[in-house]
Structure 1
Amino acid sequence: MTWILTTILTALAALHLLWAIGFWWPIRDEAQLARAIAGFKGIRKMPGAVPSALVAVALMAVIWLLLGWPHGTWRSLGLAGAAAVFTLRGLAAYSPAWRRITPEMPFARLDRRYYGPLCIIIGAGLASQH
């Protein structure tokens, strides 16, 4: 399970790093990509380099907890915190309050179908690691 989580988190960190340097992938048009991956009401530009890079750093910190941090209380607390964040983010995909903040299509559809469930799965996986 650790290697599956690490692979998924590494891919997500790499995507956020690409976005941080202004490489729009998998959709070349910035406005379309922003509506697909962020979905905030009226969004037309991707989130800035700093927020994207911070997400990548946070994801790499979770990878470090999984692979590099010795077993013990601090590792367990870190993984429990990360599991809570991912689980809450996943559940938010089904919240009317979140949908009011992020109504843009195709994000709203992708969030309910893929992003939310993926976050819940990652959260459960991280919870099983401590």
Structure 2
Amino acid sequence: MAIGLAALLLAIAGLHLAWAFGFRWPGTDELSLADKVLGARPGARMPPAGLTVFVSLAIAAGAGVIVAFSAQTLDWPWRPLAAGAYLMLAGVFLARGLAGFVPAVWRRAEGTAFHRLNQLYYSPLCLLIAAGLAVNFALG
């Protein structure tokens, strides 16, 4: 399970990295991509490439935390630190997943392509990742 979760996070990190370097899927240009992935007002642009690379690296680091925690070869003090980082990662995905279903959080996104995609795909995926992390934690 840990390898699957880490691979999923690496794929998501790779997508963010691709966006930083001009890849526009699921949009066709910068404006349509921003409409589908940011939840911003029409006409909004994507964040700067440096910020998107940072987000990509943070997600990839999350994959590393999953692998490190699940390896079960860490000694004191690394094991408790990895467990704390792991639980924080699970909490971030849980909060992001739940936020997708709280109307007040995404009110500014109502009527955008992001709003629909968020409720259909993005938030459920975050909840699925959080659940997978919880199961993996319980097994580890």
Q: What TM-score, normalized by structure 2, do the two folds share?
A: 0.84
- 2:110 corresponding residue in structure 1: 103
Does residue 78 (structure 1) correspond to residue 98 (structure 2)? The answer is: no
SS of residue paired to 1:128: helix
Deviation >4 Å, runs of 4+: none
| Cα displacement (A) at 1:79 | 0.8
| Cα displacement (A) at 1:3 | 1.9
| Cα displacement (A) at 1:46 | 1.3
Conserved 8 A contact 1:17-1:53: yes
Does residue 17 (structure 1) correspond to residue 17 (structure 2)? The answer is: yes
Does residue 129 (structure 1) correspond to residue 136 (structure 2)? The answer is: yes
What is the alpha-carbon distance in structure 2 between the residues aligned to residue 54 and residue 37 of structure 1? 16
Against the structure 1 CA distance between its residues 43 and 83, is the aligned structure 2 distance closer, same or farther, given a 3 Å change threshold? farther
Farther off after superposition, 9-18 or 93-102: 93-102
Count of aligned residue pairs for this structure pair: 130
- 1:42 corresponding residue in structure 2: 42
Which structure 2 segments of 5+ residues have no match? none
Quick one: which of 76, 85, 95 aligns to 1:88? 95
Q: Deviations over 1:8-44 (max 9, x none)?
A: 1111000100111222223221111110111123343
* Residue identity opposite 1:92 in structure 2: A
**Which structure has the larger Rg over C-alpha atoms?**
2
SS of residue paired to 1:22: coil
Q: What TM-score, normalized by structure 1, do the two folds share?
A: 0.89
In angstroms, what is the RMSD of aligned CA positions? Answer: 1.7
Farther off after superposition, 38-47 or 57-66: 38-47
* Residue identity opposite 1:14 in structure 2: G
